[in-house]
């Protein structure tokens, strides 16, 4: 027996890798693993899916939140209707309202035709709002009204449209903290947080990594018309021990690159990438927008939200009043208002 075969990391059995994926059936992806954390998540999916309740899916970037949303839709009574996805972070704030609610021709400059919004497209089905923490404050109240009353108006139209859809939302942000900071409406947060589900990060379920590795190896080897049937056990151990800050998405991309580099039947992963990444990867990186938002809000709170004048926030921050107002609009910073029941 060759040394390669003696150190071969055995492939998980077919039954092991498909146990969970069979639960959700034929969705656009496969949920793979047998860890306790993933099992608890899937149990929650099976519990809430048959209802019509709103679900808030929490988890780090790359953990597969959209796949969980697809699984809920697939197991719901709305499975034969539309599953409409919108990423709230990928659409500029000024266009997001039109994207969600639709518009009439001439609603604003450049609106040369009528357009149906995502909410209307999801009528009878499921609307999945990814990265919902990125919705500007001024739009949050309109979304809340739709959720409470199941009705809305297209931009440029006075006609009220009735809709019936189920909302699934996802975020990698701490919405409760955003509520305290005045960046997310309290009433909308509680309306979304009916049934929260947290997708565990890959580092908390290392037992699932071999299943995922073999799944992606088979997927990309077949796509590239290659045959890979061996992974060295020491290589698998390194992959299991790595923290995968990008979670399943990072692992998937790493395995695709590994298959490209493998010219025989043995997987040749570029393990130096993982070793160097493990030394240099910070625990958590805040975005510049987050840091800028926090500094501006602290200045506004310290001046009781006075923007101009010699004692205003603009002077304390060393910027012009118009510059500060622009940054506040761009970052969605509005003075918190007390919640007033309808």
CATH number of the structural domain spanning residue 152: 3.40.50.300
- Structural domain that includes position 219: 204-280
Residue 261 CA from chain centroid, whole number: 30
For position 338, what pLDDT does the model report? Answer: 45
Give 56's strand partners: 169, 196
Q: In this structure, are strands 151-153 and 160-162 parallel, antiparallel, or unpaired?
A: antiparallel
Answer whether residue 246 shows pLDDT above 70: yes
Answer whether residue 288 shows pLDDT above 90: no
Answer whether residue 294 shows pLDDT above 50: yes
Whether 230 and 323 map to the same domain: the answer is no
> Which of 51-60, 107-116, 133-142, 144-153 comes out lowest in average pLDDT?
107-116
Whether 159 and 272 map to the same domain: the answer is no
Question: Could you tell me if residue 92 is inside a domain?
Answer: yes
Question: Could you tell me if residue 22 is inside a domain?
Answer: no
Write down the pTM of the prediction: 0.74
> Which of 53-67, 97-111, 210-224, 274-288 comes out lowest in average pLDDT?
274-288
- The arithmetic mean of pLDDT across residues 308-328, rounded, is 85
Q: What percent of the chain has pLDDT over 90?
A: 56
For position 323, what pLDDT does the model report? Answer: 86
At which of 198, 213, 244 does a domain end?
198
Q: What is the distance between the alpha carbons of residues 110 and 20, in angstroms, rounded to a whole number?
A: 48
Counting the structural domains of the chain, the total is 3
Answer whether residue 214 shows pLDDT above 60: yes
For position 11, what pLDDT does the model report? Answer: 64
Answer whether residue 85 shows pLDDT above 60: yes
For position 336, what pLDDT does the model report? Answer: 62
Q: What is the distance between the alpha carbons of residues 68 and 105, in angstroms, rounded to a whole number?
A: 36
Tell me the pLDDT band of 12, cut-offs 50, 70 and 90: low
Q: What percent of the chain has pLDDT over 70?
A: 82
**What are the pLDDT digits (tens) for 34-63?**
888 899 999 999 999 999 999 999 999 999
For position 27, what pLDDT does the model report? Answer: 41
Whether 304 and 211 map to the same domain: the answer is no
- What the block records as the tokens of 145 is 């009204």
Q: Write b or e for each residue in 56-93: b if 16 or more Cβ atoms lie within 10 A of its Cβ, otherwise e.
A: bbbbbebbbbbbbbbbbbbbbebeebebbbbbbeebeb
Q: Residue 301 sits in a domain of what CATH number?
A: 1.10.10
Answer whether residue 223 shows pLDDT above 90: yes
Give 171's strand partners: 58
At which of 198, 222, 244 does a domain end?
198
**What average pLDDT is seen over the chain?**
83
- The arithmetic mean of pLDDT across residues 202-215, rounded, is 94
Q: Quickly tell me which residue has 């639960």 as its tokens.
A: 23
Tell me the pLDDT band of 92, cut-offs 50, 70 and 90: confident
Q: How many helices (H) and strands (E) does the chain have?
A: 17, 7
Whether 186 and 266 map to the same domain: the answer is no
Whether 124 and 227 map to the same domain: the answer is no
For position 80, what pLDDT does the model report? Answer: 96
Give 169's strand partners: 56, 129
Whether 165 and 183 map to the same domain: the answer is yes
Q: Quickly tell me which residue has 């290392």 as its tokens.
A: 206
Question: Could you tell me if residue 72 is inside a domain?
Answer: yes
Residue 256 CA from chain centroid, whole number: 22
> Which of 103-107, 170-174, 298-302 comes out lowest in average pLDDT?
103-107
Task: Put residue 284 in one of left, alpha, beta given phi > 0 → left and psi -120 to 50 → alpha.
Answer: beta
Whether 188 and 256 map to the same domain: the answer is no
Whether 164 and 208 map to the same domain: the answer is no
- The arithmetic mean of pLDDT across residues 61-70, rounded, is 94
More confident residue, 279 or 290: 290
- What the block records as the tokens of 310 is 């010699």
Q: What is the distance between the alpha carbons of residues 126 and 148, in angstroms, rounded to a whole number?
A: 16
Question: Could you tell me if residue 16 is inside a domain?
Answer: no
Whether 262 and 324 map to the same domain: the answer is no
Whether 108 and 155 map to the same domain: the answer is yes
Question: Could you tell me if residue 28 is inside a domain?
Answer: no
Question: Could you tell me if residue 25 is inside a domain?
Answer: no
At which of 260, 280, 300 does a domain end?
280
CB 135 within 8 A of CB 183: no
Say how many C-beta atoms besides its own lie within 10 A of residue 52's C-beta.
13
Nearest one of 163, 173, 182 to 122, comparing CA atoms: 163
Tell me the pLDDT band of 2, cut-offs 50, 70 and 90: very low
170: which DSSP letter? E
| Local structure of 161: helix, strand or coil | strand
Tell me the pLDDT band of 8, cut-offs 50, 70 and 90: low
> Which of 19-23, 80-84, 97-101, 229-233 comes out lowest in average pLDDT?
19-23
For position 16, what pLDDT does the model report? Answer: 40
Q: What is the distance between the alpha carbons of residues 224 and 169, in angstroms, rounded to a whole number?
A: 35
Tell me the pLDDT band of 26, cut-offs 50, 70 and 90: very low
CB 155 within 8 A of CB 108: yes
Answer whether residue 108 shows pLDDT above 70: no
- How crowded is the C-beta side of 271, counted as CA atoms within 13 Å? 14
For position 105, what pLDDT does the model report? Answer: 63
What 3 state SS string does 172-231 have? Answer: CCCHHHHHHCCCCCHHHHHHHCCEEEECCCHHHCHHHHHHHHHHHHHHHHHHCCCCCCEC
Q: What is the distance between the alpha carbons of residues 146 and 336, in angstroms, rounded to a whole number?
A: 21
Question: Could you tell me if residue 21 is inside a domain?
Answer: no
Alpha carbon distances (Å) from 292 to 60, 187, 299, 307, 331: 22, 25, 11, 16, 9
Question: Could you tell me if residue 83 is inside a domain?
Answer: yes
Whether 126 and 209 map to the same domain: the answer is no
Whether 178 and 214 map to the same domain: the answer is no
For position 178, what pLDDT does the model report? Answer: 92
Q: What is the distance between the alpha carbons of residues 102 and 153, in angstroms, rounded to a whole number?
A: 8
């Amino acid at each position: 027996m060759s040394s390669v075969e003696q150190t071969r990391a055995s492939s998980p059995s077919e039954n092991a890798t498909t146990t969970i994926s069979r639960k959700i059936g034929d969705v656009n992806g496969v949920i793979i693993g047998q860890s306790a954390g993933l099992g608890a998540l899937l149990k929650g999916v099976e519990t809430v899916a048959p209802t019509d309740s709103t679900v808030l899916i929490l988890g780090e970037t790359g953990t597969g939140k959209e796949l969980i949303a697809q699984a809920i839709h697939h197991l719901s009574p709305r499975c034969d209707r539309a599953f409409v996805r919108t990423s709230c972070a990928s659409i500029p704030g000024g266009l997001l309202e039109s994207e969600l609610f639709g518009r009439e021709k001439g609603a604003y400059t450049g609106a040369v035709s009528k357009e149906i919004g995502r909410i209307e497209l999801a009528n009878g089905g499921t609307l999945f709002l990814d990265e919902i923490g990125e919705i500007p404050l001024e739009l949050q109240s309109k979304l809340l009204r739709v959720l409470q009353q199941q009705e809305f108006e297209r931009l440029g139209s006075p006609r009220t449209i009735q809709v019936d859809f189920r909302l699934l939302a996802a975020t990698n942000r701490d919405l409760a903290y955003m509520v305290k900071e005045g960046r997310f409406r309290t009433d909308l947060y509680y309306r979304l947080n009916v049934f929260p589900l947290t997708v565990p990060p890959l580092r908390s379920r290392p037992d699932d990594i071999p299943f995922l590795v073999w799944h992606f190896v088979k997927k990309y080897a077949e796509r590239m018309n290659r045959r890979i049937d061996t992974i060295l056990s020491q290589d698998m151990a390194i992959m299991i021990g790595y923290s995968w800050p990008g979670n399943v998405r990072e692992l998937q991309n790493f395995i695709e690159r590994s298959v490209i580099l493998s010219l025989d039947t043995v997987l040749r992963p570029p393990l130096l990438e993982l070793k160097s990444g493990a030394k240099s990867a910070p625990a958590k990186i805040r975005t510049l927008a987050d840091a800028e938002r926090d500094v501006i809000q602290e200045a506004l709170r310290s001046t009781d939200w006075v923007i101009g004048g010699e004692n205003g926030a603009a002077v304390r921050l060393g910027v012009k009043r118009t510059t500060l107002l622009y940054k506040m609009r761009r970052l969605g910073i509005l003075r918190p208002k007390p919640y007033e029941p309808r």
